[in-house]
Chain A
Amino acid sequence: MRYLPHTPADRQAMLAAIGVDGIDALFVDVPGQALLPAALDLPHHAGEMAVEESLTAMAGRSLPAGAAACFLGAGAYRHHVPAAVDHLIQRSEFLTAYTPYQPEVSQGTLQYLFEFQTQVALLTGMEVANASMYDGASACAEAVLMAHRVTKRNKALLCGGLHPHYADATSTVTQFIEFDVDTRPANPSVVEDLGALIDADTACVVVQTPDLFGRLHDLRPLAAAAHAKGALLVAVVTEFVSLGAVMSPGEMGADIVVGEGQAIGNALNFGGPYLGLFATRQKFVRQMPGRVCGETVDEDGRRGYVLTLSTREQHIRREKATSNICTNSGLCCLAFCIHLSLLGEVGLRQLAQLNHSGAVHLAEQLAALDGVEVVNESFFNEFTLRLPRPAEAVVGELVGHGVLAGVPVSRLYPDDPELANLLLVATTETNSEGDVAAFINALREVLS
């Protein structure tokens, strides 16, 4: 077994040094009837070639997005990740290190976490950010719990354009405490007046922009309405590349900004691991969940970094902790941090423009098809189409044309017939003119 260093002689010598005559003497505390006498009746060990072969065959039974013209989004985006990113995150020193509990030998991790926190704060327009959460949906749930702690109020108002996975994760996490979640109905044709729904029990209003349907929202009026009634505004961003082109939630008055960082530096990975982002105002920092890295000095006066504010955390506070989160998304933060460092100010803004101009072109061409309507007035790189018949069937038919056309809204809301004809379409810099032509031609054909 290539991963196990001991020879039988080593094992014998070690057992002798311990003073026992067999390995089961070390399992003596296990109740006898529970100790398995032999290996389970399952396949035995296999060489590297055999394992690679079987998993490669399994991988071959799916259609990679890159092998089709892919226009899926809805919270996960296929961007080009520079080769340097994946190379650097596989350096042993990053990949095989633990959480940086010993800062003297973990400055590599700690410094990039500090840089990552700064990048997230800059992009969101907030003062501070943490060192990540599991993903956007769980970060959203944590933001609502934090608003509950800050305001000591017992209700959250979730906009209808919030990704339903985020709304569901929030409802799940709050279901066993005294807290109500009011999730507004999803409908891209309706303009919500959330401000009117805020009352004295409202801890926070949660608004996504661009929202599930791709619409951009000016948060300023809602921020004013929330603050006037003592509630917090939580802004959700599921496509962080948008912040290269769009005003940040912080500039528009958000108190907490959470979101999904996958779009920068991270592959689609069939939905995980992803990267939950969490940013807020300085005054709320002691109510923030999750790990935080801070600057300090070492004994020689050199600037360095440590995990800090741990008195909020579970290993110190136990049941009074701000959250139970422990392991988060370290290596995904690193990928985000490296990719964003490569892009820089110029690159991110150009990438965002490229995504937006591609989406504008695509929307124009789709809108020109008979029976197809673009629902959105505003969008970044994703918008909603209304098709003449149920979107799920259309998407299924387009697979045969080598097109992954988008996410049918019915996949997320199977029980709402009014949404059945809606299709979420996203485009990024990875979509070629050929992809667009394939999509347009195939859609024209299946709708005719």
Chain B
Amino acid sequence: MSKPIETSSGHRGLDLAEPLIFELDGPGRCGVDLPEPDAVTNRLGGLERQAAIGLPGLSEPQVVRHFVRLSRNNFAIDAGLYPLGSCTMKHNPRLNEKVARLPGFADLHPMQPMETVQGALELIDTLAEWLCALTGMSAIAMSPAAGAHGELCGLMCIRAALEAKGDARQVVLVPTSAHGTNPATAAICGYRIEEIPADDRGRVDLAALKEKLGPHVAAIMLTNPNTCGLFETQIVEIAEAVHAAGAYFYCDGANFNAIVGKVRPGDLGIDCMHLNLHKTFSTPHGGGGPGSGPVVLAEALAPYAPLPMVVRGADGLELVEHKSEALGTAASFGRLKGFHGQMGMFVRALAFILSHGADGLRQVSEDAVLNANYVLARLQDLLTLSFPGPCMHEALFDDRFLQGTGVSTLDFAKAMIDEGFHPMTMYFPLVVSGAMLIEPTESESKDSLDQFIATMRHLAERARQGDAGYFAGAPHLAPYRRLNETQAARQPVLRWRPAVQEAAE
């Protein structure tokens, strides 16, 4: 590699170096114009702030420039293929952003009188109906704020239902390939976790599962399609065995994009499942949220659903916010969060659903599965496929093809960055060595996939040709070189501090 050119400003063409906002402080400067407050005798009860807060002062153009410069250091789905397995990085239509900002949705206070928010309740109710229809389930809890929050909601329904029967059970079964949130959630619900191994086809080992089942098992948490990108072929038998043991079947719906419009989870015998609206239904990931994780429920679990819920009353739609015998919410396990749910995400998800319709959603899953299988077919001779296809919406490879090259999955992923692609999910699931989980989604064209495939083939060949040094140094062309994560964890610096204070400490 040639030595990078040094510049005197620290900027590198369009790659503009940007300090922390605190380092841009001009005391007394302000980016908003506010009226002078009237002088009043304050009513702060003697608790007026005395000390300075320490916030920096900037004008509006400085603030705008700061955040625009920061933004340019991010990869984004709008800029290129983002094949993060299990994350469903699909196109985020801008219509959805526009309608979410309509004052009749965005400028509603959550505690306005019911008669002034009928349109908003109608939106929640309409989305709820679509989600129940698409999953073939009879009830839904809309308030969970994200997938993991939905898992919590589902397991709490299960625990409440079991306790209502006086049936205390202690164990939740989780496959070794599960998302880490599954065991973490089960632990919060007071359950002990037992793992179920995968068989050599990447599916739950049904015999091992049956051995683990018994009167102590409250539920199984299973992702389907699973985290290896495969449909659980024996899912109906799994459901039967789970139900025969008196346990419930929780399905992690993170991978619903593979089957939306093609398969209704309710037809497979599941009892509850969360839907990540920020995956299948395209609400933007926003750099890590906000998400939304409604949970569909079978009839047996519906009475335990969290508050609030929308019901149709005599005077129109109504939010039930408290336990009530009359309204059928007496058995609810309680409230999970403030107010009513992720309204802004609901609007975007419904816009996505109405745009696609029943036919378009079916095409979504077909194209998502087609794209993943196309990648699988075109890479399986060079990369090592973990389990034979067909896959669903994501293709799982592992690092056996890198054996003896000195290149790791991590190195390979970082080299993809130089080629203009976001890396796939790596080292997950844990059931294969050096996992590379590729989910292209339905948003990618054939041309885009062909370019990605050609790049992956090029990198695989380059790795085999013994160019480990190149990979170890990657990324070479990203805004930043590899960051030292060990240092960050050993000596955590989690905030900025002014230089003078540092000297004083």
Contact = CB atoms under 8 A, between A and B. Distances in A.
B406 interface: no
Given A29-B390, A42-B357, A298-B481, A61 B104 contact: yes
Given A19-B377, A294-B488, A342-B58, A36 B264 contact: yes
B443 A324 contact: no
Interface in A283-322: 285, 291-300, 302, 304-306, 308-311, 313-321
Interface string A325-359: 11111111010011011111111111101101101
A244 B494 contact: no
> What does DSSP make chain B's interface, helix, strand, loop or mixed?
loop
Given A52-B98, A272-B110, A379-B43, 17 more contacts: A1-B356, A29-B392, A39-B357, A58-B123, A86-B101, A102-B413, A172-B333, A247-B50, A296-B484, A308-B492, A328-B289, A337-B21, A341-B56, A344-B55, A345-B52, A345-B54, A359-B43
A108 B60 CA distance: 19
A115 B112 CA distance: 34
B58 A341 contact: yes
B34 A35 contact: no
Contact of A76 (B111, B185, B445): B111
Contact of A115 (B20, B40, B363): B20
Interface in A63-98: 63-67, 70, 72, 74-76, 78, 82, 84, 86, 88-98
A140 to B, nearest CB: 9
B6 to A, nearest CB: 11
B495 interface: yes
Interface in B36-73: 36-58, 60, 63-64, 66-68, 70-73
Contact of A105 (B106, B151, B417, B442): B417
Across the A-B interface, give the 5 residue pairs with the lowest CB-CB distance, nearest first: A59-B104, A271-B339, A378-B45, A331-B286, A271-B110
Contacts of B117: 62-63, 270
B236 interface: yes
Interface residues of A, number: 208
B370 A14 contact: yes
B141 to A, nearest CB: 12
Interface in B353-404: 354-364, 366-367, 369-371, 373-374, 376-378, 390, 392
Given A4-B360, A63-B116, A88-B64, A267 B106 contact: yes
B370 A176 contact: no
B479 A105 contact: yes
Given A18-B373, A309-B492, A314 B34 contact: no
Contacts of A411: 111, 321
B487 A296 contact: yes
B438 interface: no
B110 A98 contact: no
A346 B495 contact: no
B445 A10 contact: yes
A86 B333 CA distance: 37
B330 interface: no
B456 interface: no
Given A128-B494, A297-B483, A346 B57 contact: yes
Contacts of B272: none
Interface stretch (A163-171, A193-201, A436-444): A163-171
A98 B58 CA distance: 29
A347 to B, nearest CB: 5
B339 A76 contact: yes
A363 B43 contact: yes
A361 B36 CA distance: 15
Contact of A332 (B28, B289, B488): B289
25 contacts: A14-B446, A18-B376, A46-B355, A55-B354, A56-B104, A63-B116, A88-B71, A98-B87, A129-B494, A134-B145, A244-B53, A269-B106, A273-B145, A273-B343, A309-B492, A319-B186, A324-B184, A325-B146, A331-B289, A344-B31, A345-B52, A347-B57, A399-B113, A399-B116, A429-B34
A66 B58 contact: no
B347 interface: yes
B394 to A, nearest CB: 13
A99 interface: yes
Given A92-B78, A246-B44, A345-B52, A272 B373 contact: no
Nearest to B22: A118
A362 B188 CA distance: 45
A245 B48 contact: yes
Interface stretch (A20-28, A182-190, A226-234): A20-28
B287 A97 contact: yes
Contacts of A308: 485, 488-489, 492, 494
A213 interface: no
A15 interface: yes
A161 B93 CA distance: 42
B99 interface: yes
Contact of A245 (B49, B95, B115): B49
Contact of A44 (B179, B189, B358): B358
Contact of A319 (B92, B126, B193): B193
B93 A327 contact: no
A211 B454 CA distance: 60
